[in-house]
Chains A and B, each alone.
Chain A
Amino acid sequence: MTFREINSKMVEATVLPGQRLFSQRGAMLAYKGDVSFTPNVQGGQGGLMSMLGRRVAGEATALMTVEGSGTVLFGHGGHHVHVIALSGDTLHVEADRLLAFEGTLRQGTMFMGSQGGVMGLVRGQVTGQGLFTTTLQGQGSVAVMAHGGVFEIPVTPQRPVHVDPQAYVAHHGDLRNRLSTALGWRDMVGRGSGEAFQLELSGNGTVYVQASEEKL
């Protein structure tokens, strides 16, 4: 594992020659050894077309490439950091939650409408994810940020999980997500329980939830 959690808010990454890391710009706290940080104009991998894609999608965060040999400490804004290891599957996460990820992962953008059409778009708006979300695929690990720590909930076909859209962080695996509403007459007259919209995840995988309803 490239990333090691030093404490709940910092990760240490080992950089080896020939391996690249991407991290959010300005998230380096300290480093040892011979490491270079270069701003990544393209905001990730995949060449010019992918860069344009991210710009258009609004999923372009200022990233930097970390290369060389040594160890680097990452942390940002006092947010809790959680390391997720991927082995071939796809992680769906918002770009601004990405602290750092390995260069071996393939970065992409997904149109929310491609999962569930118009309802997908509505879901994106309600959850604050917007119309697009970032995907990371392959072998490697990712450090994501969350407010107040992250816990994992496994999802199995017999056990769908409902998540508060504001507390949703990321998910991976073969999951379908759907916006479920529990709107009743009580919500119309201002006596709602504050849980009118939920994200329903079903299938096989893991969902990451933060201990707070605050966005980053």
Chain B
Amino acid sequence: MFRLQGSKVLAVDMTGDAVKAKNGSMVAYDGQMAFKKLSGGGEGLRGMVTRRLTGEQMTVMEVKGHGTCWFADRASEINLVGLRGDKLYVEAGNLLATDGGLRTGTTFTGLRGASQGNGLFTTTVEGHGQAAIISDGPAVVLRVSPQYPLIVDPGAYVAHQGDVRQSLQSGVTFRTLLGEGGGEAFQIRFEGDGLVYVQPSERNTIAGDL
């Protein structure tokens, strides 16, 4: 069971089940806990090759035991996401913890990923259970519906879930090339039906400099 203690600490009550969490994010626990390192990108040999190739190697640990375990990461805000069979797309660095039963994998994002400033690949979480994602500042959850597409700054994008198509949209004009850009040269456009998590802070991206 995931619950938030304040906005920056995640408390997980465990009764013998397992939880996957970012390496080194445990701040305290009571009862009996065992920590074991896992590696992201799927299991087995295929997972290992994927990790090597994609660089999306989230270092994950598996926490197993009886008691309560508290997680936090550099005072970042934590958001709980409930998954009911759908897929959550999130940057590996923004994923704090997932239920042991959820599957994690890696997908190719193409140019969009490069514009976000975090590589060509992203992490997916799939199944039934809860996940905790972290953001710099409290994240807002924005709904995307077929009538209302959503456009997000790549640097402020944290995660999305649901049946959503995304495309990169550029606002590059001759002014940008002259160095007179407004700092919003690229945006990600979300269409379809789902939720997008946006943080009130921007990572450094190529788009932000233009």
Binding site for B on A (CB under 8 A): 147-149, 151, 153, 159-164, 167, 182, 186, 191-195, 207, 209-214
Contact = CB atoms under 8 A, between A and B. Distances in A.
Given A149-B6, A194-B61, A211 B26 contact: no
B28 A167 contact: yes
Given A195-B35, A213-B24, 18 more contacts: A149-B8, A149-B9, A151-B70, A153-B28, A161-B28, A161-B29, A161-B30, A162-B30, A163-B28, A191-B37, A192-B37, A194-B23, A194-B24, A194-B25, A209-B28, A212-B72, A213-B25, A213-B72
Contacts of A161: 28-30
Contacts of B26: 164, 195
A191 B36 CA distance: 9
How many B residues are at the interface, by size bracket?
Answer: 20 to 34
A211 B30 contact: no
A204 B139 CA distance: 38
In terms of DSSP, what is the predominant structure of the interface of chain B? strand
A214 B28 contact: no
A191 B48 CA distance: 14
B153 interface: no
A161 B29 CA distance: 6
Contact of A167 (B23, B27, B34): B27
B35 A211 contact: no
B46 interface: no
B164 interface: no
B75 interface: yes
14 contacts: A148-B72, A151-B6, A153-B28, A153-B30, A161-B29, A162-B33, A163-B28, A182-B34, A193-B36, A193-B37, A193-B61, A210-B75, A211-B72, A212-B72
Given A151-B6, A211-B75, A164 B27 contact: yes
B74 interface: yes
Contacts of A147: 75
A153 B61 CA distance: 23
Residue picked from B5, B29, B34, B75, most chain A C-beta under 10 Å:
B75
Given A151-B6, A192-B37, A193-B61, A214 B75 contact: yes
B73 interface: yes
Interface centre among B25, B29, B33 (most CB of A within 10 A): B29
Identify the 4 closest CB pairs spanning chains A and B, nearest first. Answer: A148-B75, A194-B24, A193-B61, A167-B27
Contacts of B6: 149, 151, 211
B28 A195 contact: no
A78 to B, nearest CB: 11
A153 B26 CA distance: 14
A138 to B, nearest CB: 27
Contact of A149 (B24, B33, B36, B75): B75
Interface in B6-51: 6, 8-9, 23-31, 33-37
Given A211-B72, A214-B74, A193 B27 contact: no
B27 A210 contact: yes
Contacts of A194: 23-25, 35, 37, 59, 61
